[in-house]
Chain A
Amino acid sequence: MMHVTTDFPAAAHEALGDKSLQAALARMRQGFVSGRASAVARLPEFDAYRDAARAIRDHTLAHLDAYLEIFEANVKAAGGQVHWCRDGAEARETILRILQSRGAKTIAKGKSMVGEEIELNAYLEANGVRPVETDLGEYIIQLRRETPSHIIAPATHVSKAQVADAFRAAHTLLPADRSLAEADTLLAEARAILREEFLNADAGMTGANFLIAETGTSVIVTNEGNGDLSQTVPRTHIVLAGIEKVVPTLDDAAVLLRVLARSATGQEISSYTTFSTGPARKDDLDGPGEYHVVMLDNGRSALLGSAFHDMLRCIRCGACLNHCPVYGAVGGHAYGSVYPGPMGSVLSPALAGIAAAKHLPHASSLCGACEQVCPVRIPLPKMLRAWRDVSFDRGLVTLRSRLGLAVWTFAARRPALYRLATALTAKTLQKHRAWFRLVPGLSGWLATRDFPASSGRTFMAEWKARR
């Protein structure tokens, strides 16, 4: 099972007070939201492609086992191998076994959220293999020994100065007095360091944005080209992917690619979209000699046909994070899961268990911005509510909320009592507003916001008097 830390309220409190993080979030809110909006404006057919993308994902999920069979057969036909893993532990062991049997000591990694989900790096390190993250953002958080705070921009919470600190601490062979004040200096240093890593890595690993059944192909999209070097230079290419990533054809992938980058960064397409089919051919001038696809379930199959089925459509673009007011206020780490924001608050309880992730479905104002921008139209608010239902049924709600709700419901179901109670409240609100500081929940509001006075009478009482 995926690991989730449980204390959203405390983590959110800390995040709200972190000035550097808040500056980073302000940049992120601005950049991604306006980027998507202009990309969408430039493609009048965007919504039609969203519908098509959704239909492709729905069709694939309805025939998931059949497409997985076809994908597997075509990987094998191209000379690759497929490894099926029920959970994170099996996937970690499988990857380690592949590496150990080839004597691999270092592995160059392209960005993989599934790799984060199964905490692969810690496992490899503990077993004598050195993983090197090569996506600049992933490299930064690897040096800082952090988890990603965003599914497509893992180091979005890190400031330039913090990157410089991390580089100074890690790149000890470089002159200590070098200037790292500018972003392009940092970039040049990362390029030089990681170039050596690519050239010397024993194996390479990538995730997969899509798997194509028709051809047995894995697809990655990157802007840096790091995934390409990770999978082209070393002798062995390992792909780690969730079983839901399969799509039927190259044509279907084309439709999904049209909505992916536009939703994610606001680009029309990422700089590099790479389709890998099997290992290098006999006469090829370069490319890996081996191609392994590690197919991970880890709780995904249980979502099929459940109230959370639609979550399997997700293509991990991050638009729901970028447009979420809660994510925008607290950032990714507060969620305690490698999948933060609205998609994470639906997925994390599924992969880690609702008891561990009980806060996450409540960490939303249900404003609906996530569903509005989702390229595959996942009804995220509906599924957040569905988790709240599960959470309530299992008694995972605090006693305070449960009691408050019970009192309110008791009154709401008895109109005469409700009239009495509201009339009394209206009076109190007029004359004794200070009392409301004592009400749990309202005290938090009143600390930073006024609460309006009441006229002393409810509408219902006033209406009765007037008519």
Chain B
Amino acid sequence: MRKDRRGFLAGLMAASLTPSLSWADAGNPSFLAAAREPDGTYALFGLSECGQDIFRIALPARGHAAAAHPRFPEAVAFARRPGTYALVIDCTNGRLIQKLDAPNGRHFYGHGVFLNDDTLCCTENDIESGEGRISLWSRRENYRRIGDFPSGGIGPHDLKLLPDGETLVVANGGIRTHPDHGRDKLNLDTMRPNLSYLKTDGSQIDRKELEPALHQCSIRHLDVREDGLVAFAMQWQGIEGEAVPLLGLHALGNPAVFPEFPIADQNRLSGYVGSVSFAGNGSSVAITSPRGGVLLTHGLTHGTKIWNRSDICGVAPSGEGFVSTDGLGGIFSVVDGKPRKLALANRAWDNHLVAI
């Protein structure tokens, strides 16, 4: 009873305190990125279009991805997999708005997305069954957990919202993990990753599985273009050195297509893509491989271009092209496959760069 009342009051406070603020009050950052500082601590940064620091908020541990609220200056920073918490942060002052705790028997997988102004969706693991779940959290109720439903597969990682504003696309990576075994992959022989399209009532619109020969291509990261085209990036779990697709494109109702790259470029990806993004103008898609130290852009008009950059991983749309971040602190603009240095920070940028 008491708990409910407290929750209600907290909800009222959250609702009454923040709605008037916008991202302008947080300095109008264009991107969010987590980083490791030279002293070994971690922080979340707001970055300008030119890669300059707008704000810095200390994090208690290494983050993975962040979700930016579409309107209000609030960011949700997810702990590194298999984390049991996510932090909702007020980006105007760095204060913690709420800590999201995964319920007993669950952990987060590191990605989340706002469905609308009120609802945050996160990927989760139901530890005992191994079933992937999507949890829902209500901002209006101070980020109370309001429900969950199946993700349509095992090991959901990234998820994105389609332009219709109500359909989620989920990368079910297919890999079963259990926190007792850290990040050990428990089902590589039988894994079946898929791309699931879900409504928030839990109904499934479509599910795309890869052909059996590619069942060890773990679908992990996603981007969605304005017209609903989904780019999905994969990580190969099979025999090393095989040239398997690591980028797929899919539009609902159509077959998936897998762009082919010159074999030398394919090899440079090392079977592993860490992030994927459409260009700001939608004309190309970029994938990064921190293991191969490359950013590859695949254009509808200008073919494949590859750029060598050690430990590169984060990539997000910007202008005509992309902005990319790396573990050496670099922030680069990439247009037509050509990189230009924007900034070099004395910190290691983490896996993902999130456009606001």
Chain B associates with chain A: no
